[in-house]
A and B are shown apart, each in its own frame.
Chain A
């Protein structure tokens, strides 16, 4: 799939916020693409920059005094150069976003119907009656029972899962081409999560929209995403198809994530291997490779060189930002995949070539 077909292209995006303690480098040069009808999963923990990059796409970070550079191309137009009114016309219309906590994301004092109608009337010239019809239709679309009654209720009268359905209905009001979902199921029970994810998949098939799903849950991203971008400390460390990220990941951070989560499909007593240390400060990120302080395989010069996101030779669509030699990486992963710990892997593979 060539870059020219991408619905959304983010190119070398940098987002900085001034703060009392210094400049926060929330997003430190990321590049990724989203294609129509496909789902991109952005995986990262808190402080990885995953949410900021999406908010910036919609221009929602402009007010906070952010310094933004790079390009965000949506259907060929650079969103970063659009004036506010141009962006406003796109928000909730061509690109829609849903957030993590549906209780705090809906206005507590307005009826759900009113909030849905607003979403419609912000972009379409329709009467109130027509907007209300559309609101009821949307609630039905997201599987809400008894829409004509529910449309006149307040957010607190819905359960968590139902509220998230309302958020989704609101996002779909104008049939967006791209839906950005920021941790859409993190606050929900696991059975409700399954319902909501199933709903999102169904709607994607029916409406043909692209989805960016931002999450820290590797299970969710494995289910939903066609392609995955892994973010760490404001940078993308790896992008590939979902299959490859789980079967043949190339970046030590990805390895660390995969080895540190308990899984139902692995033996019960297999040890969890945590990533040592803590996520770095974004005000003073580590020099060179941002991950090197926590990387079990780091070599001395990794603190001096910034790794660039580059394709690996055998699979050009799989990009990784890592200074380790490709062959060495594959050997290390082979050890880890079979249940080894980083120490065991290092012992098995031996020291890097060219070192004493």
Chain B
């Protein structure tokens, strides 16, 4: 068991290094021009460019540059400086982290709770009107792009521009510590929008997984033992969760991607919006930093899922 965990962690570290390397190469190779030129301001002198190149270390060989970069990232968490604002990427990220966490963690909770419960109910009432409506609605939710959905919600419910002015509109986010109630209400629409696609996916997955599980022999045994319906369903859900659980790690990636769009539409001052702006202005250090951060979260999420899976499935522990 310990062996299993250690192996997962080591592989995770290796993966992070690979991600570092790939982002590094990607951003050096992109045909965007010499970073030194971009930072030199208007109409730069060649001598200035050369000086900047030395400062940025661009005159060294690529492997040497990567090594420098790696050292900075690993030892100092220094992701460089924004081309746009000269601010350290690290502080840019840390300022916006709490907003993004509020959004993504809340959406994740909503996605899991709503998705799984809807899926369970659908599985137990297969082919009923409820089931069919829900599955149809989930198909719409999966297909609808977050930004479109976000705009629709704002149009309907935002207190400034909406038809039914019941929820705060875009730009109304405040930190949790400033005003908990406003924090909460301003995030309701973003949470629903961000969670919708993943919740719908999970609902469909749970429905099919549970339907299959309920046909298994051990469910028949549970009924034959005289367990109450709720206990029998509990047996089923316990088994049905396993195959879905591994997908959680993948969905985290989807969630983070969606966060970029949702933060932009709802004007939430998070890392997502910052990266959206950075993409628009070709601000590579920022983009690079957020990519690395996102990768780290996804890798960690997947490692945790893999480790948790060993607890969920006792048969895995001994292999």
Contact = CB atoms under 8 A, between A and B. Distances in A.
**Complex: A in contact with B (CB within 8 Å):** yes
B33 interface: no
A60 interface: yes
Nearest to B242: A109
Contacts of B314: 108-109, 154, 156
Contacts of A119: 225-226
Interface residues of B, number: 21
Interface in A60-119: 60, 88-93, 96-97, 99, 101, 104-110, 118-119
Interface of B (DSSP majority class): helix
Interface of B: 216-218, 220-228, 231, 235, 238-239, 242, 312-315
Nearest to B216: A104
B226 A104 contact: no
Contacts of A88: 226-228
A189 B235 CA distance: 29
Given A104-B216, A154-B314, A110 B238 contact: yes
B310 to A, nearest CB: 12
A170 B216 CA distance: 18
B226 A107 contact: no
B25 to A, nearest CB: 44
Contact of A107 (B224, B228, B235, B312): B235
Contact of B227 (A60, A109, A118): A118
Interface string A153-170: 010100000000001001
Given A93-B226, A109-B312, A60 B220 contact: yes
A123 interface: yes
A154 B242 CA distance: 16
B225 A92 contact: yes
Interface in A29-64: 58, 60
A272 interface: no
Given A92-B227, A104-B216, 7 more contacts: A91-B223, A91-B225, A92-B226, A97-B224, A101-B217, A108-B239, A170-B225
A23 interface: no
The size bracket of the interface on A is 20 to 34
Contacts of A105: 217-218, 220-221
A156 B315 contact: yes
A118 B231 contact: yes
15 contacts: A60-B223, A88-B227, A88-B228, A91-B223, A91-B224, A99-B217, A107-B238, A109-B242, A109-B314, A110-B235, A118-B222, A118-B225, A119-B226, A122-B227, A156-B314
A106 B221 contact: yes
A108 B242 CA distance: 11
Contacts of A91: 223-226
Contacts of A93: 226
B231 to A, nearest CB: 7
Given A109-B239, A118-B231, A154-B314, A92 B224 contact: yes
Contact of B224 (A60, A110, A156): A60
A99 B227 CA distance: 17
Contacts of A96: 224-225
Contacts of A92: 224-227
A109 B315 CA distance: 8
- Which residue among B218, B228, B231 has the maximum number of chain A CB atoms within 10 Å of its CB? B218
